Amino acid sequence: MANNKVIWTEGLLLKPAHFQQQERYFEDLIHQHSRQLQGFEWGFDVLELDTELLSLNKIGIKRARGILPDGAVFDIPETDSPPPVVELPDSTVHETLLLCLPLRNDQYEYRLPKTDNAVQRYQGHLQQIDNTSSTDKDEQSVLVASLRFAIKPASDNTDGYCVLPFCRILECSKNRGIVLDENFIPPILNSHNNDILHQQLTNLTGFLVKKTVELVGRIHANTESRYNNFEIEDLLCLQTINHYTPLLHHLAEVPVLHPELYYRYLLMMVSELSTYTQNRTLKQITPYLHDNLYQTFEQLYNIALECIANISSRVQVVEITINKANFGLYHALISNKEVLQEARFILAVKAEMPAAELRKEINERFRISTVETIKELVVANLPGFRLHAMSRVPRDLPFHEGYVYFELEMNESNRMSISHSTGFAMQVGGDTSNMRFQFWAVIGDLYD
């Protein structure tokens, strides 16, 4: 049925259809305006189930207020009657329940009092209405309509109904009653009305504040006038966090926060923070699903936590000075013993020969061990700590052109040996005049 505006003319014989058409026109006008200005303008603003019925294998709604997908505004029980309580069979498992309302149609939409139980959109009933234009008590009995809701499982045929999912049943039994899925989030209009989404926002805001303090401490710890690459990255990351921390504070304080708006800002934040992760890009994200908000936010929230955690666990690279001694020996002394407990050790070597040949030379001529044991290894012709050539330069390490990078094998025995030593010692057989070395201890997850 078209929702065209009624033309009121002089001498028009008024019929109920005139007012009904005018009412449809205004309802459609409001619905179209709200739909164009705000997507996903449907869902619950308030939802409260009758929890006392759950032990009896029954489902009932105490309070519910919101907007249906077809634009109908409802308020249970203030304006509209609660739907009849539904008893579920014991075999019910993993079932979503729907709040259902018959769709608008061109036929009769009202069920009057004392009529048959036909499926109609509205239930008529008499209501005493005060005449507010008179100072005298002048009540009139007026026939008014309320929306006629029903509760149906999603597995039922709901053709001809406008529906809103409101809960998910995990199981139903005589012993335990109805067990609800606590992770289910119905379509809602305000994120603050859901404990899961509200807690996620609170947690993220708190984590960002902590990371701000941590990054500021790192940056202020730099006593030099110049920043290295890692400190520049810290500054850029701090800029991003400073941008979103007050924004999340604001979102947490506003009285109404639509889930799609929350999703939009969270997606923007995660996209920018992903720049400071290993992949430098954002992985595939679940699109916004207004009727499946838990799935929508669960992945995005976890990715946000991962991004923030990666910021705090940035790789720390400590350069170790190598000093040349006699007889082809080199010493790399370590004063900070804490580094030895968890660090990975990377050696870079440069010589006037192709990289493949240099790798072969290092394997044949190079020994590395502790300062205290290196001479014994040389005399006994034992290999010492093994070196593994790296296929590419890890991005967290300084790049030196012409160098070949190796990682020391730090098994439990090797780490125990170096922990009781003053440092590393290296021996290179043959001529070493054209060789150059760089040595680092790396704490954290090295991005190979």
- List the pLDDT tens digit at each of the 448 positions of the chain: 677 888 888 888 888 888 888 888 887 777 777 776 677 999 999 999 999 999 999 999 999 999 999 889 999 999 999 999 999 998 889 999 999 999 887 666 666 665 656 678 888 888 888 877 777 777 888 888 889 999 999 999 999 899 999 999 999 988 889 999 999 999 999 999 999 999 999 999 999 999 898 888 777 765 555 666 667 878 888 999 999 999 999 999 999 999 999 999 999 999 999 888 766 777 788 899 999 999 999 999 999 998 888 775 556 777 888 888 777 788 888 877 666 777 888 999 888 888 888 888 888 888 888 888 888 888 888 888 888 888 777 766 777 788 889 998 888 888 888 888 888 888 887 776 678 888 888 876 655 4
> Under DSSP, is residue 401 helix (H, G, I), strand (E, B) or coil?
coil
Is 79 found in the same domain as 22?
A: no
Distance between CA atoms of 376 and 417, rounded to whole angstroms?
Answer: 14
Is residue 217, in this structure, part of any structural domain at all? Answer: yes
User: Hunting for tokens 């050539």 — which residue is that?
Assistant: 389
Q: Give a yes or no: residue 251 inside a domain.
A: yes
Residue 130 lies in a domain: yes
Which residue range is the domain that position 324 belongs to?
317-443
Q: Is residue 186 part of a domain?
A: no
> 169 and 54 in one domain?
yes
Q: Are 109 and 84 in a shared domain?
A: yes
C-alpha to C-alpha distances, 243 to 174, 248, 273, 297, 335, nearest whole angstrom: 53, 9, 11, 21, 40
For residue 305, give the nearest of 275, 284, 274, 283 by alpha carbon: 274
In a domain, 185, yes or no: no
Do residue 285 and residue 369 come from a single domain? Answer: no
Does 303 lie in the same domain as 322?
A: no
Residues 55 and 153 in one domain: yes
Q: Looking at the structure, do residues 175 and 222 belong to the same domain, yes or no? A: no
Residues 248, 348, single domain; the answer is no
Q: Which pairs count as long-range contacts for 106-113, CB under 8 Å and 24+ apart, including other chains? A: 106/1, 110/145, 111/148, 112/143
Residues paired with 436 in a beta bridge: 350
Q: Please tell me the number of Cα atoms within 13 Å of 222 on its side-chain side.
A: 15
* Same-domain status, 217 and 256: yes
Which of 159, 180, 201 is the last residue in one of the domains?
180
CB contact set of 315 (below 8 Å; sequence gap of 6+): 230, 396, 442, 443, 444, 445, 446, 447
Number of domains in the chain: 4
Residue 337 domain-assigned? yes
Residues 65, 171: one domain? yes
Residues 2 and 62 in one domain: no
Domain boundary among 180, 210, 235: 180
Q: Are 214 and 100 part of one and the same domain? A: no
Does the reported pTM lie above 0.85?
A: no
Give the residue from 312, 339, 368 where a domain finishes. Answer: 312
